[in-house]
A and B are shown apart, each in its own frame.
Chain A
Amino acid sequence: MEYLSIVFQETYKILFLLIPVLVSVAMIVWLDRRVWAFVQKRRGPNVVGPFGLLQSLADALKYIFKEIIIPASSNKVIFILAPIITMTLALTAWAVIPFSESKVLANINVGILYIFAVSSLGVYGIIMGGWASNSKYPFLGAIRSAAQMVSYEVSIGIIIINVLLCVGSLNLNDIVIAQENMWFIFPLFPMFVIFFISALAETNRPPFDLPEAEAELVAGYQTEYSGMMYAMFWLGEYANILLMCALGSILFLGGWLSPIDFYPFNLIPGFIWLIFKIMFLFMLFALVKAIVPRYRYDQLMRLGWKIFLPLSLTYVVLTASFLFYFNLLPTT
């Protein structure tokens, strides 16, 4: 009986986390298209609902009522599994994101490693989708994407090591609390820039959207998908983008800490600040999409392995020696 009540409580908490995340994914798709349109002097989606706010819901309805077409020569089980895995992984990672000191679904000791592990599993949704489609363009897109995500994960990992050196704990809440005096964006600014660019590559966003480069590969690994399965890929992708924004704001922008810490402003609960920071990072993502042209594949690989990896490794050495020399290493 006690076990059942725990299960019910946790389910309630999970729903309380997942439904806002899914709604904000829908809203953020609208925002993305809107920003993109404004940069190009277009109007963007503005018909469904006020300012076109309900456009994503209309799109989702359309996807639900469309027929799911499974290619005859595809590997059916894996073909159906791929979008499910993408979306599940994108949503599971949200379990450890702290929205305030107490509002965490799972306050685990190795939170940052958990996020890193789950986001590194995200490759499988794409590879499985590309391979199971049994068609040229999806396969090429999947191969590109896997190589890209694996190489940029390396630099993200090393950037995380930089932050961990300053914190001395893998717990996400501890990382936020360690930034009470100074956000890590100030001492680690170059790492923040590299993290932002690597996050773009990790989530297959322009200018690194080679896996779905529509001019070369039709739509990359999603070419054969239709209806709700396509929508699940799309939801997973945007949930991953939001997750990367959340991770960036927790690692560098002080998470749920308030930037203005005096009377009327410190009444605002922490999660509002976190949402503001996530929105700020997402606006940068959307602007980059509109402004920057797509990278060539060899340039992408060169940027990841020959520039970001040595730079972030050097910064690890610099941070470690600075902390050691001035005796600032965190003690447990």
Chain B
Amino acid sequence: MIAHAIFFYIFSVIAVISAIMVTVSKNTVHSVFFLILDFISISCLFIMIGAEFLGMIMLIVYVGAVAVLFLFVVMMLNVAQQKNQWFISKESSGHIPVGLVISVIIFFELIIVIGGWKYKPDLLNSTNLFIEKGVSNTHSLGQVLYTDYIHVFQISGMILLIAMIGAIVLTFRQREGVKKQSYLKQISRERAEGVEVLEVASNRGVKIDD
């Protein structure tokens, strides 16, 4: 049990320190790497309480996909330069009140969540959420998710689909004058139409591409 406690404290200390470093570190790419470290140590904590499926999914989804996109954006946009301009120029400082409002809302939500912990023992003893001892974590998750909560599960899937389609619609634009390669055309090219023998008049040339 002592080993268990030691590992718990190691992972949670790493998680807290890296969470602080995300906001403190000056280089934005470094803060994304700290975010990744945070995700990894949190998934280690999940695995330690026996929620192995959640821990692995956390690694696959957040670290393997979401954080890669974060890293992409941060590397491509060169946010470090923009941040300096952001404080100097007057016209973009309108973002600050919006950010403040959002962070205040998140702060109060966190306080409410901490208050909600008081009901945790009731939740564990609830007859609706019956935890079978012999069944593995993944199996019991599936048994609950696909029976009792199937509608919620499907609705959340629908919301994600709508968000995805929305993102595509917002960013997709048909540009004109862009030459596209058609695979069908490329594959179905024959020698007869590919090569053409032309009589070229001297000093006049020939027009090939239109």
Chain A residues with CB under 8 Å of chain B are: 3, 75, 78, 108-110, 113-114, 116-117, 120-121, 123-124, 127-128, 131, 139, 143, 146, 150, 153, 157, 170, 298-299, 302, 332
Contacts and interface: CB of A to CB of B under 8 A. Distances in A.
Main secondary structure on B side of the interface with A: helix
Contacts of A114: 56
A116 B52 contact: no
Contacts of A124: 36, 68
B65 A120 contact: yes
Contacts of B52: 108-110
Contacts of A121: 59, 63-64
Interface stretch (B10-18, B134-142, B199-207): B134-142
Contacts of A113: 53, 56-57, 60
B21 interface: no
A108 B55 CA distance: 13
A117 B33 CA distance: 17
B120 to A, nearest CB: 25
Interface of B: 3, 29, 33, 36, 52-53, 56-57, 59-60, 63-65, 68, 71-72, 75, 135-139, 181, 183
B60 A120 contact: yes
A116 B65 CA distance: 12
A299 B72 CA distance: 21
A116 B60 contact: yes
Nearest to A153: B64
A22 B59 CA distance: 26
A123 to B, nearest CB: 6
Contacts of B60: 113, 116-117, 120, 157
Given A109-B138, A127-B71, A332-B139, A150 B65 contact: yes
B95 to A, nearest CB: 27
Contacts of A170: 138
13 contacts: A78-B33, A109-B52, A109-B136, A109-B137, A110-B53, A113-B56, A113-B60, A114-B56, A116-B56, A117-B64, A120-B64, A131-B75, A302-B183
A324 to B, nearest CB: 13
Q: Which of A117, A120, A146 gathers most chain B CB within 10 Å?
A: A117
Contacts of B65: 120, 150, 153
